[in-house]
């Protein structure tokens, strides 16, 4: 996408204020009362002197209900028709939110993704945004309107409606913010921000003031449900500042932004757990060059995303390979592997559902040693067995038994004292600045 030139701001009381994109999720739009509250919130931003573009999801559980409906009619509906169906949810939202604003005497206009100039590729149900032509949105803004755009949808090269994957309205919002060079992209949701861990599991989890794109990306793809990970990739690429905040409680949220030097002072920013993985083990694999390549080529061809991979040391020329995938991909992966097993002379494929992946994430890991040791030690002290390990520069993930995942999160949260406000090392201002430059 080519971000277009800056949007001309509105002049109010002599001050030029920027454009804000605000996204409201399904739970914030569950019923007419919710809609009125959202309208009031939007109006408030407008009255503060901002131009406002609003992106909305489908009301409440509408998308789930639509999927359910489809399956009652056809057990394997075509992706194109599913998109035609699912995109209606957001279309309801934009129309009624606009009506709610009209009642308040505000000029607002609703747009579908197509009307808003959002073009996607042709991958129905998981389309990627290719371009945004914000000319029409700009025109409405110049006319003094609040523009309300249906999230989660766009138009393919064949002019069909495509959806962006579950949770895709976040990506719509960030893409519009990028294209319009918005000052900020606010994601309103049913939690108050991004937490150091899921507060339902770790009661003393803290709301983070800020988090770096890379940390948020890890946490989002690791199962923290606040933002769709693609939206974070987008934000990182185009430098869109995202603020995650509650649509119910008025409190500052969490800023997702570019990394700055002193973010590395904090070793671990957050902990997440992914309960949606399964572990597959291919037993009795001949230990020869090219075996792993052949196995994973088959899986890649079937569009199956692999997460962690472990190959055991081989004994007498035989080894086994374990890896994790999303549980939805399990039937397909099994099919692929069983077919491949015959030609590859692999013995058996074993599926382990009883796993969860717990990860600690922080850009500070780059500059600190001993983090892995602290993770393993803390888990050992608490009798939590580790089944698999994977690391990146800013993350350590372990696979544990499902029932131990919550405990592991609490233990690690405590180990890294995440319940306490981060203490920055006492560095004098001058010294910190000097370090930043290096
Ligand atoms: N309504 C869609 C979903 O439920 C898109 C979204 O909420 O962002 O996945
Ligand atoms: Mg939703």
Q: Which fold has domain 264-438?
A: VC0802-like (3.30.2130)
Q: Is 396 left (phi over 0), alpha (psi -120 to 50) or beta?
A: beta
Q: Which percentage of the chain shows pLDDT scores above 90?
A: 72
pLDDT band (50, 70, 90) for residue 8: very low
N residues, the chain: 438
8 Å CB contact between 210 and 145: no
Report the pLDDT value the prediction gives residue 265, as an integer from 0 to 100.
85
pLDDT band (50, 70, 90) for residue 273: very high
Q: Which atom of ligand 1 is nearest to the CA of 89?
A: 1
Average pLDDT over residues 228-257: 93
Report the pLDDT value the prediction gives residue 5, as an integer from 0 to 100.
34
Q: Which atom of ligand 1 is nearest to the CA of 25?
A: 7
Least confident range of 146-160, 176-190, 252-266: 252-266
Q: Which atom of ligand 1 is nearest to the CA of 166?
A: 9
CA of 137 to the centre of ligand 1 (A): 22
Q: Which percentage of the chain shows pLDDT scores above 70?
A: 91
CA of 63 to the centre of ligand 2 (A): 7
Q: Which ligand is located closest to the Cα atom of residue 27? A: 2
Residue 342 pLDDT greater than 90, yes or no: no
Average pLDDT over residues 305-310: 91
CA of 79 to the centre of ligand 1 (A): 16
Pocket of ligand 1 (CB under 6 A): 25-26, 57-58, 63, 89, 151-152, 166-169
Angle between helices 169-179 and 229-238 in degrees, nearest 10: 10
Residue 345 pLDDT greater than 80, yes or no: no
List of E strands, 332-424: 348-352, 355-361, 388-392, 395-401
Q: Which atom of ligand 1 is nearest to the CA of 164?
A: 5
Q: CA–CA separation, 280 vs 276, rounded Å?
A: 13
pLDDT band (50, 70, 90) for residue 150: very high
CA of 209 to the centre of ligand 1 (A): 26
Report the pLDDT value the prediction gives residue 373, as an integer from 0 to 100.
95
Is the pLDDT higher at 112 or at 342? 112
**To which residue do tokens 């409440």 refer?**
60
Residue 322 pLDDT greater than 80, yes or no: yes
Q: Which atom of ligand 1 is nearest to the CA of 172?
A: 8
Least confident range of 14-23, 174-183, 302-311: 14-23
Domain parsing of the chain, residue ranges: 11-190, 264-438
pLDDT band (50, 70, 90) for residue 424: low
CA of 26 to the centre of ligand 2 (A): 5
Average pLDDT of the chain to the nearest whole number: 89
Residue 4 pLDDT greater than 50, yes or no: no
- CA neighbor of 344 nearest in space, from 289, 410, 294: 294
Q: Which ligand is located closest to the Cα atom of residue 64? A: 1
In tens, the pLDDT along 351-405 reads 999 999 999 999 999 888 899 999 999 999 999 999 999 999 999 999 999 999 9
Q: CA–CA separation, 390 vs 400, rounded Å?
A: 12
Q: Which residues pair with 395 in a beta bridge?
A: 361, 392
User: Which residue has its alpha carbon closest to ligand 1 atom 6?
Assistant: 167
Report the pLDDT value the prediction gives residue 173, as an integer from 0 to 100.
98
Substitution candidate for ligand 1 out of 63, 94, 125 with most atoms within 8 A of CB: 63
Residue 434 pLDDT greater than 80, yes or no: no
Q: Which fold has domain 11-190?
A: Carbamate kinase (3.40.1160)
Is the pLDDT higher at 16 or at 256? 256
């Amino acid at each position: 996408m080519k971000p277009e030139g800056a949007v001309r701001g509105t002049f109010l009381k002599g001050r030029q204020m920027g454009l804000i994109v605000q996204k409201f999720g399904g739970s914030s739009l569950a019923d007419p009362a919710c809609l009125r509250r959202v309208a009031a919130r939007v109006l408030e931003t407008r009255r503060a002197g901002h131009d406002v573009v609003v992106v909305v999801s489908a009301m409440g559980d509408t998308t789930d209900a639509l999927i359910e409906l489809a399956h009652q009619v056809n057990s394997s509906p075509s992706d194109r028709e599913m998109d035609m169906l699912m995109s209606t949810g957001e279309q309801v939202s934009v129309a009624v939110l606009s009506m709610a604003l009209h009642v308040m005497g505000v000029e607002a206009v609703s747009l579908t993704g197509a009307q808003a100039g959002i073009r996607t590729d042709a991958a129905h149900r998981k389309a990627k945004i290719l371009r945004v032509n914000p000319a029409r949105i700009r025109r409405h803004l110049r006319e003094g309107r609040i523009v309300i755009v249906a999230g989660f949808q766009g138009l393919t090269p064949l002019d069909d409606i495509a959806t962006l994957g579950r949770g895709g309205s976040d990506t719509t919002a960030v893409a519009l913010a990028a294209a319009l060079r918005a000052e900020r992209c606010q994601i309103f949701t049913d939690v108050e921000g991004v937490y150091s861990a899921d507060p339902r599991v770790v009661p003393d989890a803290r709301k983070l003031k800020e988090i770096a794109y890379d940390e948020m990306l890890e946490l989002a793809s690791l199962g923290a449900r606040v933002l769709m990970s693609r939206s974070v990739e987008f934000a990182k690429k185009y430098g869109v500042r995202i603020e995650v905040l509650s649509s119910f409680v008025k409190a500052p949220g969490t800023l997702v932004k570019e990394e700055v030097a002193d973010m590395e002072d904090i070793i671990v920013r957050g902990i997440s757990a992914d309960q949606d993985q399964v572990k597959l083990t291919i037993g009795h694999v001949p230990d020869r060059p090219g075996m792993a390549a052949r196995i994973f080529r088959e899986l890649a061809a079937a569009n199956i995303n692999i997460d962690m991979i472990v190959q055991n040391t081989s004994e007498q020329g035989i080894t086994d390979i374990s890896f994790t995938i999303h549980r939805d991909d399990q039937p397909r992966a099994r099919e692929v592997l069983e077919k491949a097993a015959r030609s590859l002379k692999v013995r058996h494929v074993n599926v382990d559902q009883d796993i969860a992946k717990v990860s600690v994430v922080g850009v500070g890991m780059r500059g600190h040693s001993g983090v892995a040791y602290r993770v393993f030690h803390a888990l050992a002290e608490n009798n939590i067995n580790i089944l698999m390990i994977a690391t990146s520069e800013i993350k350590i993930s372990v696979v544990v038994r499902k029932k131990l995942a919550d405990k592991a999160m609490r233990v690690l949260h405590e180990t890294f004292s995440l319940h306490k406000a981060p203490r920055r090392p006492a560095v004098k201002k001058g010294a910190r600045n000097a370090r930043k430059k290096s």
